Structure 1
Amino acid sequence: MSIQAPHNPKKLMGTQWTAVNVENRRRHWEVIELHLTTDEVLLRAVIDGHTLRVEWRALRNREDWEPGWKK
């Protein structure tokens, strides 16, 4: 499942994202938790399971994130 521009955080669960700026080969991420009280989502890196907590609105920034898994 992919989402173009997140407007509703409740629809982000399970969505896939590609980091534009790759660190430690962590390019592909998936939303695994929603934290609506803090407006954050928990992302898990596909390659090694590393987790990253970001504000869900940050996923709108195309300089940092692209929806779906890109090469």
Structure 2
Amino acid sequence: MNQINPRKLLNSKWTAVKPVNKEKHFIITEVEFDEDGNVIYCLIEAIMSKRDRSIDWRELQNEETWRQGWK
């Protein structure tokens, strides 16, 4: 399980273990917090295609789907 500090999500880099549409490398471009400091919105962008989508940041903890950094 990837250990993630929600405060350090912004601009963090991720590699998809099983790329879809040849999109392998991603970066977190937007993170919003509620008044209690919990993540309520997270936007991830593919580096090559610049396509972005909303993601539940807890999905990034799954090592079978995501790896930290660009590998």
Shorter chain as normaliser: what TM range? 0.7 to 0.9
Equivalent position of 2:40 in the other structure: 39
Q: Measure, in 2, the Cα distance between the counterparts of 1:57 and 1:33.
A: 15
TM-score by length of 2: 0.82
Number of residue pairs matched? 66
Is the CA contact (8 Å cut-off) linking 1:39 and 1:56 kept in structure 2?
no
Deviations 1:44-66 (A, max 9, x none): 10001000211111110001100
Write the letter of the residue equivalent to 1:41: C
Q: CA-atom RMSD, angstroms?
A: 1.5
- Larger radius of gyration, structure 1 or 2? 2
TM-score by length of 1: 0.82
Equivalent position of 1:17 in the other structure: 14
Where structure 1 has 5 or more consecutive residues not aligned to the other structure, the ranges are none
Identity of aligned residues (%): 33
Where in structure 1 do 4 or more consecutive aligned residues deviate above 2 Å?
A: 35-40
